């Protein structure tokens, strides 16, 4: 079976399929080795073990599988089961590219851009252009960015917008965001907000986490509200850091009136997961509430004559 059929079998009966995949991997099936490696990376159906996942990807390269070379490169790029090493990752991506792997072109181009050497930009541009020609949405978005910024070739905003539009229509969140940013600069605010909204609603936490501060930094209140929406969706996914950041935003009222009650609820959720700053805030808030109650009780007792006025301050000390 190929990897797609193995994944379908896994979806139907995870426990039975996982054992069958492991057995097939041990017998030398490259497709099974790839799927098993991914299961170990994700911790899906078995304990997460990135190092073991990498070892299965490495075994799959022995048969020359392009995806296996790409995945070993990804492990070195991301530091999954091995120290992060862009240089080694690039070597594996080159091997995958030689075997016709489209995503390896994108992955290598992104590494070249991250390394920041302007001399690497022409190669990155060529790789993005090749992958874009094969329909890769991330490559289409990246190619558009080159044209928007005038990297390697003269800037061409119209062609950049056209390419962003292609990738955006097919669901690429970064293309939607980049096109919206471009439209804002040209004055099409309504369409830009629609694209930002669409990108936030259908994307993942990693994307939302990155664009939220960009939108919150905008002077436009509608864009700041979209930033709040992105943060709220991140917080709802359960990460304590996201919950803390969302609580801070609610407390300070970045895009709307401050909402201290809702902020406290999110601080408590983050604190329940051991978030240090959230825990400290919750403790301070509890101390302040207790102090306020004591002051209020003594004030009421003074009014009723149960406590002499001069004794109140001494008691609170």
- pLDDT at residue number 254: 83
Question: What's the average model confidence in pLDDT over 244-259?
Answer: 91
Q: What is the Cα–Cα distance from 52 to 73, expressed in whole angstroms?
A: 15
State the chain's mean pLDDT as an integer.
89
Question: What's the average model confidence in pLDDT over 32-48?
Answer: 89
- pLDDT at residue number 316: 41
Whole-prediction pTM value?
A: 0.81
What's the start-to-end Cα distance of the chain, in Å?
77
- pLDDT at residue number 207: 97
| Contact residues for 54 (Cβ-Cβ < 8 A; gap 6+) | 37, 72, 75, 80, 81, 82
Q: Is the model more confident about 302 or about 141?
A: 141
Angle at 12 between CA 9 and CA 15, to 5 degrees: 85
- pLDDT at residue number 295: 63
**CA-wise closest residue to 41 among 58, 28, 26, 29:** 58
- pLDDT at residue number 255: 80
Question: What's the average model confidence in pLDDT over 178-202?
Answer: 96
Q: What is the Cα–Cα distance from 54 to 79, expressed in whole angstroms?
A: 10
What pLDDT, in 10s, does the model give residues 260-285? 999 999 999 999 999 999 999 888 76
Confidence band for 306, pLDDT divided at 50, 70 and 90: low
DSSP string, the chain: --HHHHHHHHHH-HHHHHHHHHHHHHTT-HHHHHHHHHHHHHT-SS---HHHHHHHHHHHHTTT-HHHHHHHHHHHHHTSSS---HHHHHHHHHHHHHTT-HHHHHHHHHHHHHHT-GGGHHHHHHHHHHHHHTT-HHHHHHHHHHHHHTSSS---HHHHHHHHHHHHHTT-HHHHHHHHHHHHHTT-HHHHHHHHHHHHHHS-HHHHHHHHHHHHTSS-HHHHHHHHHHHHHHHHTT-HHHHHHHHHHHHHTSSSS--HHHHHHHHHHHHHTT-HHHHHHHHHHHHHHHHHHHHHHHHHHHHTTSS-HHHHHHHH-
- pLDDT at residue number 301: 67
What pLDDT, in 10s, does the model give residues 114-150? 999 999 999 999 999 999 999 999 999 999 999 999 9
Q: What is the Cα–Cα distance from 198 to 194, expressed in whole angstroms?
A: 6
Q: In a 10 Å sphere around its CB, with 0-12 CB exposed, 13-18 middle and 19+ buried, how is residue 218 labelled? A: middle
Confidence band for 256, pLDDT divided at 50, 70 and 90: confident
What pLDDT, in 10s, does the model give residues 4-23? 777 676 666 666 677 888 88
Q: Is the model more confident about 52 or about 305?
A: 52
Confidence band for 179, pLDDT divided at 50, 70 and 90: very high
What pLDDT, in 10s, does the model give residues 61-110? 998 999 999 999 999 999 999 999 999 999 999 999 999 999 999 999 99
CA dihedral 184, 185, 187, 192 (to 10 degrees): -20
Confidence band for 290, pLDDT divided at 50, 70 and 90: low
């Amino acid at each position: 079976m190929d990897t797609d059929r193995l994944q379908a079998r896994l979806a139907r009966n995870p426990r039975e399929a996982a054992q069958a995949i492991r057995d097939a991997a041990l017998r030398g099936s490259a497709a099974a080795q790839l799927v098993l490696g991914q299961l170990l990376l994700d911790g899906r159906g078995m304990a997460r073990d990135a190092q073991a996942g990498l070892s299965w990807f490495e075994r799959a390269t022995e048969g020359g599988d392009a995806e296996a070379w790409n995945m070993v490169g990804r492990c070195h790029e991301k530091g999954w089961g091995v120290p992060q090493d862009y240089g080694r990752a690039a070597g594996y991506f080159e091997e995958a590219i030689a075997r016709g792997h489209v995503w390896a072109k994108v992955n290598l181009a992104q590494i070249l851009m991250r390394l920041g050497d302007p001399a690497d930009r022409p190669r990155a541009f060529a790789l993005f252009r090749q992958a874009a020609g094969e329909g890769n949405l991330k490559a289409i978005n990246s190619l558009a960015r080159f044209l928007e910024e005038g990297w390697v070739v003269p800037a061409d905003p119209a062609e950049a917008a056209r390419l962003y539009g292609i990738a955006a229509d097919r669901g690429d969140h970064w293309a939607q965001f980049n096109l919206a940013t471009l439209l804002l600069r040209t004055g099409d605010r309504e369409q830009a907000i629609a694209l930002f909204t669409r990108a936030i609603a259908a994307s993942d936490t990693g994307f939302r986490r990155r664009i939220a501060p960009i939108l919150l930094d905008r002077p436009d209140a509608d864009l700041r509200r979209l930033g709040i929406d992105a943060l709220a969706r991140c917080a709802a996914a359960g990460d304590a850091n996201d919950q803390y950041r969302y609580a801070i935003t609610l407390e300070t009222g970045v895009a709307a009136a401050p909402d201290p009650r809702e902020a406290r609820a999110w601080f408590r959720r983050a604190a329940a997961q051991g978030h240090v700053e959230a825990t400290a805030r919750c403790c301070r808030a509890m101390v302040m509430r207790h102090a306020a109650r004591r002051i209020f009780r003594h004030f009421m007792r003074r009014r009723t004559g149960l406590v002499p006025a001069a004794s109140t301050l001494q008691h609170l000390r």
